[in-house]
A = this chain, B = another copy of it.
Amino acid sequence: MTADNQPGRSVNLRERKRTKTRLMIQAEALRLIEQQGYEQTTIEQIADAAAISPRTFFRYFPTKEDVVMWDEYDPVALELLDARPPDEPLAETFRMVVRATLGGLYRRDPERLLARVRLLATVPELRSRFAGLQTEGFDELIRVLESKRGSKIDALSLRVIGNALLATVRVALDRWQAGDGKGDLLAILDETIDLLVDGVGDLQRAAA
């Protein structure tokens, strides 16, 4: 009876339009921020540049931080995760999901990604927010993993390993950005994941 039963389009169309608007606003915002710095750029300036009212800005992004943080891949990550075989090693599942999402952003528009990551590394406020978003997203991620391999792995252990894996992404992004985007992001990411796996060596000596 309600609108939901016609599969897809009308909702998607709306949602797609919103995504386009968001991309447009973000583009203007990143441009201004690159010129003037993050704190020096006001919402009013961004709204002017995007030809919308400040009030409308907040309809698309709940906070100023979000205009930098947001990207269009966020919602698909969990679906990808759910599609991996449940007996796959954790590091491998993680590697594949990150390659799909982060890699997607990377291939589609490396400049934009670099601009955003540079801000994440530079502006303390965004640095914090990024870490926060990771942990929030992480909680949902944990829930998916627990339901998939619940019996096979201890809940606390899952969290420890998961957080360690998440940290590899932060390190990889940091390193990539430190080299001004010259290196290959995905290669660096592979390296950091491998380092975590191998780094065990040092830790095991600690356990001995």
What residues make up the interface of A, taking CB atoms closer than 8 Å to B?
89-92, 95, 124, 127-129, 131-136, 153-154, 156-157, 159-161, 163-164, 166-168, 170-171, 174-175, 191-192, 194-200, 202-208
Contact = CB atoms under 8 A, between A and B. Distances in A.
Main secondary structure of the interface of A (DSSP, over half): helix
Nearest to A134: B131
A164 B196 contact: yes
Contacts of A128: 128-129, 131-133
A92 B154 CA distance: 23
A43 to B, nearest CB: 16
A190 to B, nearest CB: 11
Given A124-B136, A160-B196, 9 more contacts: A124-B132, A127-B135, A128-B131, A128-B132, A128-B133, A131-B134, A135-B170, A154-B195, A160-B199
Contacts of A170: 135, 163
A171 B159 contact: yes
Most buried by B among A133, A166, A206: A206
Given A128-B132, A131-B131, A200-B197, A92 B206 contact: yes
A90 B197 contact: no
A171 B160 CA distance: 7
Contacts of A154: 195
Contacts of A164: 163-164, 167, 196, 199
